[in-house]
Structure 1
Amino acid sequence: MSATQSSQAADASAPWPTELRVAKDRRTLTVVYDDGASFALPAEYLRVTSPSAEVQGHSPSERKTVPGKMNVMIIGVEPVGNYAVKLVFDDMHDTGIYGFDYLRRLGETHAERWAEYLSELAAKGLSREPARR
């Protein structure tokens, strides 16, 4: 079996989302996988962990801590091929491509990543509250 065939075989056995649902209040994306796992991912969490270059940078040292997104909402979910979705937020951020494997990792590591995010905000003197206009 070639490396490509092996990779495809591994991908075929990976948990696959059977449902992606945005809550009526647009503040949560629920992802249900075919192995029974289910994750309710808050819009704020998804926004501040966006896989976009704007948030992640082009290396770990460039990653940004995004403040002020406590009230952000998901206004669109667009399929990207058969491996991901592009989420559109009401702050017009729409450049993150959320692979189904990335959504799974976000669900599995939600508590740790969220605690880390809150610590980063505090350390940088930033807030979850939106900036006043």
Structure 2
Amino acid sequence: MSSSSAAGLRKLCSFAQSPRLTKLSLHPPKAVEVEFSDGSSFNLSAEFLRVYSPAVDSKIRSVGGEKVIFGRRHVGVMSAESVGNYGIRISFDDLHKTGIYTWDYFYHLGSNKFTLMRSYIQTLKKHGLSRDPQRKK
């Protein structure tokens, strides 16, 4: 087995070990709350979910080779629809709606929320960008 195949298998196995989703609640426009069978519960803001959308999106700006989403502090969740029995597609009020958030991805985001948010803010600072939307001219 090649090292990339082994890495892919490890990734699949680690996802397979994620606790089962037991509850998902939308709190439009500002958050989604998820609870898992291991007792963990995460309240994930719309901004956080939008920034860490699993979709490739044309509204991402490439800055110094890094893909950076900025100006989404006030983005809202408009709705969500089920995708099979493994995730949801969230529609945001900035018209982004192509990412599918799997239960495993929600668990990853919730488990790493503070580290991911800190990294996001550091990336914005590094490139002189803001969480706040740009003002219309």
Q: Give the TM-score normalised by structure 2.
A: 0.79
Which segments of structure 1 move beyond 6 Å, counting only runs of 4 or more?
none
Matched-pair identity in % = 37
1:97 aligns with 2:93: no
1:67 aligns with 2:81: no
RMSD: 2.2
Q: SS of the residue aligned with 2:132?
A: coil
CA offsets 1:30-78 (integer angstroms, 9 cap, x no match): 00112211000011000001000128x9xxx976210000000101111
| CA–CA separation in structure 1 for the residues paired with 2:99 and 2:66 | 14
Question: 2:25, 2:34 within 8 Å by CA — same for their partners in 1?
Answer: yes
| CA–CA separation in structure 2 for the residues paired with 1:66 and 1:100 | 23
| CA–CA separation in structure 1 for the residues paired with 2:20 and 2:55 | 22
Name stretches of at least 5 consecutive residues in structure 2 with no aligned partner.
Answer: 1-11
How many residue pairs end up in the alignment? 120
Q: Find the counterpart in structure 2 of residue 47 from structure 1.
A: 50
Of Structure 1 and Structure 2, the greater strand share is in: 2
Give the partner amino acid of 2:125.
A
1:20 aligns with 2:21: no
1:77 aligns with 2:60: no
Q: Give the TM-score normalised by structure 1.
A: 0.82
